[in-house]
A and B are shown apart, each in its own frame.
Chain A
Amino acid sequence: MSAQEIIRARAKELLESGEIATFIGWEAGRFTNQTTPLVITDAADAGKLVFNEYCANTLAKYVTDVLARGKVGLVVRGCDSRAIVRLINDKVIKREDVYLVGVGCPGMKDRKTDEPLKKCTECRHNNPLVFDEMAGENAEKAVPEDRFAEVKEVEAMTAAERTRYFESIYAKCIRCYACRDVCPCCTCRECFVDQRRENWVGKQNNVAENRFYGLTRVMHIGDRCIECGECERVCPMDLPLMKLNRKVIQDMNDLFGEFESGLVISAEPSVLTTYELTDREEFM
């Protein structure tokens, strides 16, 4: 049986048995090779579910939208499972809120170019880390040699070049907040940019306020980012957002020890909400 068939069969069984209230997967979209996320509540709809190499969207964050209806079943690849771990560690959901059908992921493709997605070529954990059952086998995928290659590219520029580089990014940003909406770390009840707080981030769309948003976003998610690359994929302006996230992750790795977020369910505090007496001292 193919993974897709197993997913359909299991979704049907799980919904019929009443073990879960909703199931999240993908369905075929309007265009060739396009898929979109699908939430089903009726076992009869299980036949709509697909799994192919064009399933670009990460599913985990949809759990928060449909959790009110009851336990959620969903398909998880490496990135989805890490996102679920993230949500559990941030106490947004509980482990028992979700039933995870794992599926090995060989890396997804861009439906237009048929090239591998950037986020998938950079992915280091393509197979699910947390799951209740596996639909099929784990998949093989090449792991990138240097996790921080793109950060090093930017670091190689001069300071003035970098200023200009990032200012052009902030100039392009249209503040649609798609990067936030898709991010499994961004689970605030109300994001700081949506709040009405005087003298905080302004609502205008200009370089300065966009910089405020961009930098704050990185400081908020940097120590918890699961490197799924969804923010970058969904950005309508194609901004290289992972260059910022990975910079912070790289520095934390260098300064406070190797870590990768969202690999295991644990109550350990994230890097910036803890400390060691022996941390490096450079402000003396």
Chain B
Amino acid sequence: MSRIGVFLCYCGSNIAGTVDVEAVAEMARTLPGVVYVETNKYTCSDPGQEGVKNAIIEKGIDRVVVGPCSPRMHEPTWRKLLADTPVNPYMLEVANLREQCSWVHKDKAIATEKAKDLVKMAVAKVARLSPLHSTEIPVHKKALVIGGGIAGMQTALDIADAGFKVTIVERETSLGGKMVMLDKTFPTMDCSACICTPKMSEVGNHPNITVKSYSEVESVSGYIGNFEVTIREKAKYIDYTKCTGCGACETKCPSKVINEFEQGMSKRTAIYKMFPQAVPSKPVIDAEHCRMLQEGKCGVCAKVCPTGAINYQDEDKLTTETYGAIVFATGYKLIDWKPLYPEYGGGKYPDVITGLQFERLVNASGPTEGHILRPSDNKEPKSVVIIKCVGSRDPNKGKAYCSRACCMYSAKHAHQYLDKVPDGRCYVFYMDVRTPGKGYDEFYMNTVHDGAQYLRGRVSKIYKEGDKLICKGEDTLTSQQVTVAADMVVLETAMVPADGIDELAAKFTVGRDADGWLVEAHAKLRPVETNTAGIYLAGTAQGPKDIPDSVCQAGAAASKVIGLLNKDKLESNPQISRVNEALCQGDGACANICPYGAISIVEKQFRENSRKVTRPVAQVNPGLCQGCGACTVTCRAGAMDLMGYTNESIMREVDALCQW
């Protein structure tokens, strides 16, 4: 038989003013299982709490009902109090006598009746609770950052500087991401490489950071503090312990391939470094285009390599390590506008380029050494049309959202063009100009003063006549149709999530929104966490951002990781789902419905009818389960139950209430 102690609170006159607490206490004494009832002026005060503790010990109480304010207010307080007594902290029920009774009713008689019911319900429920124990989860003091762009690098540096080991997984051959492709950064116009490459080498040389370039996450299991991650390091065909990065191999390689880093505007060799300042500063062999690896003929790079670092027999390497926290800094790519905008030629015209291609054109280390020359004939364009919101804010063809950075970088592109081609004309077609940010609007106004012609409207068609690209559009401010004969058109295309993020997110059970961006746990209050505990977001993986915002979020994610890694152990929430394996049929409905991927179906051996049988049953991962209880309702057999809110205890509450 349970020994229930009921502790009712006056809360000064807050409760006692409308509820006859003594009458409630009198009723409580008659309830089955109740051995002790006490009223107190302020139960939550130190003397009040002391009184509860003493009563528990003196009366041999094994479960407790308190009747004060809302459990949302003080439930943790009561749990903490019980932790100091022989009573299990989860053998507790709080009757909300203040927020949901005394404060909302005026008639004392009615409020007292209701308070009695609330106490009855609480007593009924607490009698059905069972002691729960939170388990301690060890925390592996090591973080994994997925993605080596500016957000990933910043996160890694911040975590590493705090003294924890970090691994960066980058699927390209070098760190740097998109930022290192850019020429200059708005609004200060510092050279992107000048501020990005030092970060890259800092990351590369940091004693706490391991960079795994040309690598991808293969699989993952586990939970917060204990993610077991297998990383596939793709075959580089070069022994990095021997390679000095001299580059002799690159100059001799006979195989020429389209250069992705230069946005397809130049060629690279099959053995290549992504760009000169790459980190790690060593090449890889692109197996698909290497003559030696494809046809078994060539081997020039091995001949010229002074250190014998070339290894054509290299294979993918799999390594598995345990990490305490994971940060997604997987970044973005530009939307593939070609199939979406046939009216812009759909890729038919080489001189209709994207913003990123323009960045490479204007970059001193780019294919044209910084001279703005149009791809078709290497002539300097004398008039350029810039079209904003290509794929952004266009739910019919592209995405409904605003890509956030394009207003500023299109202003930058106009500025750079007018700077390099002083006699050129630049037209910018826009829907709105959005420049919230320090120094942003000033930058935009300067571009306008430089002579960029801003036209409010969209371009409906681009076609070629002679060697001109005719852009037809509307100036909605004057309601005039406008036609611009341009030499080159720059499309400022929308940001979309990086390739492969769908599979990666599914591996980690991180949610994605309708557009594919990773979803934060709360849009306002938990913007860098995900719904999976221990996994965080940095940069454009979460949605379009510019560089300052990405870096900010990277720092925020890092501080969350540092906070987690600082702990030696985590205490798990014991109010989670539990499986009754005798009833479980293993059909997996619960596993399908679980938003955290906390339930898996495993084959287990049982002894049934004096026979050994192996059958599937559900298994709850205590590190992932958050205790929502959705699985309990899906389970028809009732094999799933939620600790702290068990089916029986809720039914008892309902019954207690119906007896009123």
Contact = CB atoms under 8 A, between A and B. Distances in A.
Contacts of B586: 91
B638 A187 contact: no
A269 interface: yes
Contacts of A65: none
Contacts of A90: 585, 587
B83 interface: no
A200 interface: yes
A158 interface: no
Given A91-B588, A189-B585, A199-B651, A273 B634 contact: yes
A90 to B, nearest CB: 5
A152 interface: no
Interface in B556-586: 582-586
A194 to B, nearest CB: 10
A200 B583 contact: no
A159 interface: no
A272 to B, nearest CB: 8
Contacts of A192: 636-638
Interface string A183-220: 00001111110010111100000000000000000001
Contact of B655 (A188, A190, A199): A199
A92 interface: yes
Interface in B313-338: none
B592 interface: yes
Given A91-B616, A197-B638, A269-B592, A189 B583 contact: yes
Interface string B24-67: 00000000000000000000000000000000000000000000
B592 A273 contact: yes
A220 B589 CA distance: 12
B432 interface: no
B450 interface: no
B652 interface: yes
Nearest to B593: A273
Given A91-B587, A92-B585, A195-B583, A188 B636 contact: yes
B583 A188 contact: yes
A196 to B, nearest CB: 11
Interface string A237-280: 00000000000000000000000000000000110011001000
B616 to A, nearest CB: 7
Contacts of B369: none
Residue of A90, A191, A199, A273 ringed by the most chain B CB atoms within 10 A: A199
Contacts of A91: 585-588, 616
Nearest to A190: B583
Contacts of B652: 198-199
Contact of B637 (A189, A198, A199, A273): A189
Nearest to B613: A68
Residue of B588, B589, B636, B638 ringed by the most chain A CB atoms within 10 A: B636
Contacts of A187: 585
A91 B587 CA distance: 5
Contacts of B585: 90-92, 187-189
A225 to B, nearest CB: 13
A91 B634 CA distance: 15
B650 to A, nearest CB: 9
B637 A190 contact: yes
A195 B583 CA distance: 9
Given A269-B592, A273-B592, A189 B655 contact: no
B601 to A, nearest CB: 9
A199 B582 CA distance: 20
A175 to B, nearest CB: 18
Contact of A273 (B582, B589, B616, B655): B589
A190 B581 CA distance: 11
B100 interface: no
A79 to B, nearest CB: 21
B515 interface: no
Given A188-B637, A269-B589, A269-B592, A197 B648 contact: yes
Contacts of A195: 583, 638
B230 interface: no
Contacts of A189: 582-585, 637
Contacts of A190: 582-583, 637
Contacts of B638: 192, 195, 197, 200
A191 B636 CA distance: 8
Nearest to A185: B636
A277 B513 CA distance: 11
B495 to A, nearest CB: 23
A220 B636 contact: yes
B210 interface: no
A205 to B, nearest CB: 20
B647 interface: yes
A197 B583 contact: no
A192 B585 CA distance: 13
Contacts of A273: 589, 592-593, 634
A233 B587 CA distance: 28
A120 to B, nearest CB: 28
Contacts of B651: 198-200
B122 to A, nearest CB: 16
Interface string A31-43: 0000000000000
Interface string A74-99: 00000000000000001110000000
A189 B609 CA distance: 14
A185 to B, nearest CB: 9
Contacts of A191: 637
Contacts of B587: 90-92
Interface string B293-329: 0000000000000000000000000000000000000
Residue of A189, A197, A200, A277 ringed by the most chain B CB atoms within 10 A: A189
A200 B647 contact: yes
Given A92-B587, A187-B585, A188-B636, 19 more contacts: A90-B587, A91-B585, A91-B588, A92-B585, A188-B583, A188-B637, A189-B584, A191-B637, A192-B637, A198-B648, A199-B648, A199-B651, A269-B589, A269-B592, A269-B593, A270-B589, A273-B592, A273-B593, A277-B514
Interface of B: 128, 514, 582-589, 592-593, 616, 634, 636-638, 647-648, 651-652, 654-655
Shortest beta-carbon contacts, A-B, top 5: A199-B651, A188-B637, A91-B587, A220-B636, A90-B587
29 contacts: A90-B585, A90-B587, A91-B585, A91-B586, A91-B616, A92-B587, A187-B585, A188-B583, A188-B636, A188-B637, A189-B585, A190-B583, A192-B636, A192-B637, A192-B638, A197-B647, A198-B128, A198-B651, A199-B654, A199-B655, A200-B647, A200-B648, A200-B651, A269-B589, A269-B593, A270-B589, A273-B593, A273-B634, A277-B514
